[in-house]
Structure 1
Amino acid sequence: MRLLKADDLDLSKEVFAFELDDVLFPRQDYLLQVYYLFGSFYEFTEGTVKANDLALFMKKIYLVHGEDKVFDAAKEVFGIEEKYRENLERLQANAQIPLRLEIFSEMKSLLKQIFEKGKHVTILTKGNPIEQLNKLKFIDWGELDRYKNSVRIYFVDEILHLKISVIPYLAIEYGVSEEEISVIEYQ
């Protein structure tokens, strides 16, 4: 992934719409904490596998094979019953993770410049709205904390479900032309 710098964006635009995962912070920082919590839950519930062993295994599968292979691999290797898939999914959506999510330093600098110029910042995110909102609760805004309440959140899937085009919708919401909106997403 290539992280953006201020020079990469036209800071004369009025609205900057950021994705969360792998743009503001590394998605894996959230998922690895979820795997740790799931390991602890499973150890407490079943007592057959050490939480750390399960969490490390899940991390390895995630890093090598991807998120969608994690549960099936853990199920096969550790004999986890299918009924626990729902627990993992629920935990992923609602986890009370132990560590804050750190914004990439380059993104923090870019956001600071955007906020200081009085521009609008929005989160334009895909995926489960409950999970995405949950992640927002755990972001460490640091020096940007005073700006976080001015950030609006939009869920791409919900807008598209209403058969509305995203950028024109944002343009109306902010009272700007479509050309005045810059979308920053993971490539």
Structure 2
Amino acid sequence: MKIVIPKKDKQLYLFEVDDILYAKRDYLLQIYYLFGQFVEFTESKPIAAAITEFMKERFEARNIDGLLQATQIEFGLSQDYSENFKRLEANAHLPLKLLLFEEIQDSFKALTDAGKHLAILTAGNPVLQLNKLKHMDWSGWDQKIKIYFTDELVFRNLDPFSYIADEYGIDPNDIEYIR
């Protein structure tokens, strides 16, 4: 993935999470691995590697619609695993850190050196997105970046860009959103 380093003509740079800060693939493959391990433990059958490989192959073939259901059918798993998978996806403790793209770290440095503000604005389930953020190797950037959740702001009937602009005391036109 090639990240375009933004021009430095805005005051605040908002970044989405998935495939902007890190490769979403890195998160999902760890979830598939953990799900396979969970099923193997629950079923007491050595199927973790096969489940992980099946899910990974479908993901890499961009065939992820109905991935969990296809996995359940392929391995004769109960529908009860749907809830477990969703809970695991949102709350899993990952075995490996998620790494920021090098281009993102370079952008962060260039923007902060130019006196610009950085923040995260991410859409989707806030619990899931927060879990991804918790597992990132921030290299210290987490101390300098505020995080906002689109779904949470919209739920509170707030326009994300107006709300964030107010927090920073800037005009919404002085925000660049990288997604």
TM-score, structure 2 as length reference: 0.94
Partner of 1:55: 52
* Residue correspondences, number: 179
The counterpart of 2:172, out of the listed 155, 164, 178, is 178
The question of 1:161 aligning with 2:158 is answered no
The question of 1:111 aligning with 2:105 is answered no
Partner of 2:80: 83
Per mean C-alpha deviation after superposition, the further-off stretch among 38-47 and 63-72 is 63-72
- The residue identity in structure 2 corresponding to 1:27 is K
Q: Distance in 1 between matches of 2:80 and 2:49?
A: 21
1:42–1:49 CA contact under 8 A, matched in 2: no
1:49–1:78 CA contact under 8 A, matched in 2: no
- The residue identity in structure 1 corresponding to 2:74 is V
1:38–1:91 CA contact under 8 A, matched in 2: yes
What stretches of structure 1 of length at least 5 have no aligned partner?
A: none
1:61–1:69 CA contact under 8 A, matched in 2: no
Partner SS state of residue 160, structure 1: helix
Partner of 2:18: 21
Q: Distance in 2 between matches of 1:164 and 1:67?
A: 32
Superposition misfits of 4+ residues, deviation over 3 angstroms: 65-68
Q: Distance in 2 between matches of 1:122 and 1:115?
A: 11
Percent of residue pairs bearing the same amino acid type:
41
RMSD (Å) for aligned C-alpha atoms: 1.4
Q: Distance in 2 between matches of 1:23 and 1:67?
A: 20
Q: Distance in 2 between matches of 1:67 and 1:164?
A: 32
Query: Which of the two has greater helix per residue?
Result: 1
TM-score, structure 1 as length reference: 0.90
1:66 and 1:16, CA in 2 relative to 1: closer, same or farther beyond 3 A? Answer: farther
Which digits, 9 at most, give the CA deviation of each residue in 1:51-91, with x for residues without a partner?
A: 11100101112222444421011011101100011111100
Report the Cα offset of residue 138 of structure 1: 1.2
What stretches of structure 2 of length at least 5 have no aligned partner?
A: none
Per mean C-alpha deviation after superposition, the further-off stretch among 152-161 and 61-70 is 61-70
Report the Cα offset of residue 152 of structure 1: 0.9
- The residue identity in structure 2 corresponding to 1:125 is T
Per mean C-alpha deviation after superposition, the further-off stretch among 154-163 and 31-40 is 154-163
Which digits, 9 at most, give the CA deviation of each residue in 1:105-125, with x for residues without a partner?
A: 111111111122232111100
Which digits, 9 at most, give the CA deviation of each residue in 1:9-30, with x for residues without a partner?
A: 2213111100000100011100
